[in-house]
Amino acid sequence: MAKYHFDMITIGAGSGGVASSRRAGSYGARVAICEDWRVGGTCVMRGCVPKKFLVYAAEFADDFADAAGYGWHVPAPRFDWAKLIANKNKELDRLEGIYRNLLKNANVTLFEGRATIVDPHTIEVLGKRHTTANIMVATGARPILPSIPGIEHAITSNEALDLSAMPKQVVIAGGGYIACEFAGIFKGVGADVTIVIRGDKVLRGFDEDIRTTLTEEMTARGINIVSHTQIGAIKKARDAFRVVLGKGDDLMADKVLYAIGRAPYTKNIGLEEAGAKLKPNGAIMVDSWSRSSVPSIYAIGDVTDRLNLTPVAIAEGRAVAETLFNDNPIEMDHANVPSAVFSIPSVGTVGLTEHDARKQFGALDIYRARFRPMKNTLSGRGERTMMKLVVDRKTDRVLGCHMVGPDAPELIQGLAVAIKCGATKRQFDQTVGIHPTAGEEFVTMRDKVPEPKAEAAE
């Protein structure tokens, strides 16, 4: 008779939890997964997937506008928000069905309820206790809302993906991934959009050339970026809201979207009671094997606040399953993980920013191209693409690739393989381009950007 009811119980059926449980189940482990919302979690149900459908919808605006230069007569297009949301929801239902089947086919037991940790080997869910050799916490993160007057009027990305009517005037707090993506969505479908940021540019932490380019191109598209200020209060004003800024004029909005980061979701799960150490922001502290300070409790994905990206959570979860149930120890490697912002224009990046590379490697060669993509010539669109390579001067290794422009995420995914393999600039140069594409620019960059003055490189 087995010592425990299960070999692993996972809390949270998002991308990481499902991937880990399925992989464990495929090796014959007795696995259960607990979920008190929809199977699929943030990425599939209220994040990456629905967001991308909305981005696709918004991008059609450019296609209609650009078509004229290519000889098309397009009647004034009409947009139906309700239809988009209904179609998106239908697709999410289909995906949830697929996720449920994937769990079933891997023999993973699904408990549809909120789970709590009773002790390092016991979970309580739906009023019953189940013992387990290992606990996997994959509860993700939730949007942060500040305590300012009127914050109850604000929405987060959760609600923004399900609005019953299209907003006309949107104010967005924050300048990170979510703010930039929703700014593109709402602007694309025809709303007035203002972003309120504390600094001078969007996307803090990204390469400066990405930040500058995206800030400029979003502005050129008519997105109002109000910098160096914060929202002090949101006041109801008839059927709209008055957004009071710390500095500058008030803004009017029918929707105020907060996208100022997400906090690990660890409250009232029983983690601290079981002895798991948390970081000050609530994230579960784990080692490179995703093991918490309690040997039988593992944690993956956003709840650990390492690299908060879906494919990272999946890789972390699979690594744990391989280690525990397939005698194949895998330590997660967080180096050179590519990421993208599905803003319009989009951003793709892998490796080090110029700033971080200078700090770590010293002398660098920087290559940068700015050009008008070919498609924008006949259409008359002024938008420019930016591509950049950060190269270690000593070894010639390419340390970072950065891009703002159409299809940047698709392009950077391929380049991420080269970066992961440690490709040198010479190897980039030896690679023959595909003509005519934007991507060929990455293998034909010859001229180095002049050395920055010492203080500018800081």
Q: Are 379 and 433 contacting, i.e. CB atoms less than 8 angstroms apart?
A: no
Q: How far is the CB of 29 from ligand NDP (least distance, A)?
A: 29
Regarding 173 and contact with ligand NDP (CB under 6 A), the answer is yes
Residue from 53, 99, 177, 241 in contact with ligand NDP (CB under 6 A): 177
Q: How far is the CB of 207 from ligand NDP (least distance, A)?
A: 14
Which of 416, 430, 425 is CA-nearest to residue 395? 425
Q: Are 389 and 399 contacting, i.e. CB atoms less than 8 angstroms apart?
A: no
Strands 297-299 and 141-143: unpaired
Given 5, 121, 130, 435, the catalytic residue: 435
Regarding 248 and contact with ligand NDP (CB under 6 A), the answer is no
Which of 456, 455, 449, 426 is CA-nearest to residue 364? 449
Regarding 228 and contact with ligand NDP (CB under 6 A), the answer is no
Regarding 33 and contact with ligand NDP (CB under 6 A), the answer is no
Distance (Å, whole) CA 417 – CA 413: 7
The residue to which tokens 């995703």 are assigned? 290
* Per-residue 3-state assignment (H helix, E strand, C coil) for 2-45: CCCCEEEEEECCCHHHHHHHHHHHHCCCCEEEECCCCCCHHHHH
Q: How far is the CB of 335 from ligand NDP (least distance, A)?
A: 17
Residue 348: which residues within 8 A CB-CB, separation 6 or more? 338, 339, 340, 401, 402, 403, 408, 409, 410, 411, 412, 413
Q: Give the binding range for ligand NDP (CB under 6 A) out of 65-73, 109-117, 258-266, 357-365.
A: 258-266
Regarding 121 and contact with ligand NDP (CB under 6 A), the answer is no
Contact positions with ligand NDP (CB under 6 A) in 133-162: 146
Distance (Å, whole) CA 222 – CA 236: 26
Contact positions with ligand NDP (CB under 6 A) in 296-315: 308-309
| N-terminal to C-terminal alpha carbon distance within the chain | 63
Q: Containing H/E element for 100?
A: helix 81-105
Comparing CB distances to ligand NDP, the nearer of 231 and 418 is 231
Distance (Å, whole) CA 291 – CA 278: 12
Contact positions with ligand NDP (CB under 6 A) in 331-350: 339-342
Comparing CB distances to ligand NDP, the nearer of 178 and 403 is 178
Q: Give the binding range for ligand NDP (CB under 6 A) out of 103-111, 169-177, 187-195, 237-245.
A: 169-177
Kindly determine how many residues on this chain lie close enough to bind ligand NDP according to the rule CB under 6 A: 23
Comparing CB distances to ligand NDP, the nearer of 270 and 338 is 338
**Cis amide leading into 329 (omega within 30):** no
Regarding 283 and contact with ligand NDP (CB under 6 A), the answer is no
Comparing CB distances to ligand NDP, the nearer of 125 and 234 is 234
Regarding 178 and contact with ligand NDP (CB under 6 A), the answer is yes
* Residue with smallest beta-carbon separation from ligand NDP: 176
Q: Are 324 and 134 contacting, i.e. CB atoms less than 8 angstroms apart?
A: yes
Regarding 329 and contact with ligand NDP (CB under 6 A), the answer is no
Comparing CB distances to ligand NDP, the nearer of 62 and 302 is 302
Write the burial class of residue 374 (CB in 10 Å: 0-12 exposed, 13-18 middle, 19+ buried).
exposed
Q: How far is the CB of 298 from ligand NDP (least distance, A)?
A: 20
Regarding 49 and contact with ligand NDP (CB under 6 A), the answer is no
Please say if 435 is a catalytic residue.
yes
Q: Which residues of 88-111 are buried (b: 16+ CB within 10 A; e: fewer)?
A: beeebeebbeebbebbeebebbbb
Comparing CB distances to ligand NDP, the nearer of 8 and 179 is 179
Comparing CB distances to ligand NDP, the nearer of 39 and 55 is 55
Q: How far is the CB of 149 from ligand NDP (least distance, A)?
A: 15
Per-residue CA distances from 446 to 367, 371, 388, 425, 428 (Å): 7, 15, 12, 10, 11
Regarding 261 and contact with ligand NDP (CB under 6 A), the answer is yes
- Could you tell me the strand order of the sheet in which 364-371 lies? 339-341, 347-351, 398-404, 385-392, 364-371
Q: How far is the CB of 302 from ligand NDP (least distance, A)?
A: 7
Regarding 351 and contact with ligand NDP (CB under 6 A), the answer is no
The residue to which tokens 């920055």 are assigned? 452
Comparing CB distances to ligand NDP, the nearer of 26 and 227 is 227
The residue to which tokens 């482990």 are assigned? 29
Distance (Å, whole) CA 292 – CA 426: 42
Regarding 353 and contact with ligand NDP (CB under 6 A), the answer is no
Q: How far is the CB of 150 from ligand NDP (least distance, A)?
A: 15
Comparing CB distances to ligand NDP, the nearer of 173 and 274 is 173
Judged by the rule CB under 6 A, the positions of this chain that interact with ligand NDP are 146, 173-179, 181, 198-199, 204, 230, 259-262, 308-309, 339-342
Residues recognised as catalytic: 435
